[in-house]
């Protein structure tokens, strides 16, 4: 696909897949929304599955791109994890429509692409996990479950695509700062005073 018409088809597919879901959106829905006959739409696409593949590929490229470079730059584990959290928040907040579709609909892809996307998502999460593990080993972070912590960070970031309003009163930098305070503040070894963790009062 190329040109203004192709761009309009892509953006319309993103909007409809986000609003109605991939399975509930028909090729006719997309054609009607862009003002084309269904047959004419097939001059630009082969199927709605192809459109979903393009959307997911765009999201996957952004998801993987840059994180390894960010984490490879010098710094403590905490500094690198903070950069990773800010990167993830910015990525989702600046592309809410793409990621709303990507994160919900990628299991509907054909098997080969679905496998590649799943591998990419697992690799992305593992980068967070390894950074958390390193921070624990070096005494920067208190003992915690790296996998669960990474899943919590990514889950909170991913959910931005459902509620964050680009250009609204809350900037994504503010969200990132809150996430850093919440997640890294909870991990910091400095939160453990006098050599013992803060104790939680047991439930009655």
Tens of pLDDT along the chain (204 residues) come to: 458 999 999 999 999 999 999 999 999 999 999 999 999 999 999 999 999 999 988 888 767 668 988 999 999 999 999 999 999 999 999 999 999 999 999 999 999 989 989 999 999 999 999 999 999 999 999 999 999 999 999 999 999 999 999 889 999 999 999 999 999 999 998 754 444 444 333 333
Give 3-46's CATH code, choosing from 3.40.640.10, 3.90.1820.10, 3.40.50.2300, 1.10.10.60: 1.10.10.60
Where do the structural domains in the chain lie, given as residue ranges? Answer: 3-46, 52-191
Q: Which two structure tokens, joined as six digits, stand for 84?
A: 């990773």
CA torsion 106-107-112-117 (nearest 10°) is 50
pTM: 0.85
CATH for 52-191 is 1.10.357.10
A 10 A CB-CB count for 41 gives 19
């Amino acid at each position: 696909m190329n040109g203004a018409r192709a761009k309009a088809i892509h953006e319309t597919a993103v909007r409809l897949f986000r609003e109605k879901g991939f399975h509930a959106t028909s090729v006719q829905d997309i054609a009607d929304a862009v003002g084309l006959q269904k047959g004419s739409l097939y001059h630009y696409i082969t199927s709605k599955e192809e459109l979903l593949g393009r959307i997911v590929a765009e999201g996957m490229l952004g998801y993987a791109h840059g994180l390894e470079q960010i984490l490879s730059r010098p710094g403590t584990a905490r500094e690198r994890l903070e950069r990773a959290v800010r990167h993830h928040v910015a990525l989702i907040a600046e592309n809410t429509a793409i990621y709303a579709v990507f994160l919900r609909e990628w299991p509907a892809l054909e098997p080969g692409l679905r496998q590649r996307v799943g591998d990419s998502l697992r690799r992305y999460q593992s980068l967070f996990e390894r950074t958390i593990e390193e921070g624990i080993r070096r005494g920067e972070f208190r003992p915690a479950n790296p996998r669960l912590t990474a899943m919590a960070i990514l889950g909170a970031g991913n959910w931005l695509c459902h509620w964050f309003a680009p250009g609204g009163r809350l900037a994504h930098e503010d969200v990132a700062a809150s996430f850093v305070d919440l997640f890294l503040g909870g991990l910091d070894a400095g939160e453990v005073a006098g050599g013992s963790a803060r104790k939680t009062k047991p439930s009655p």
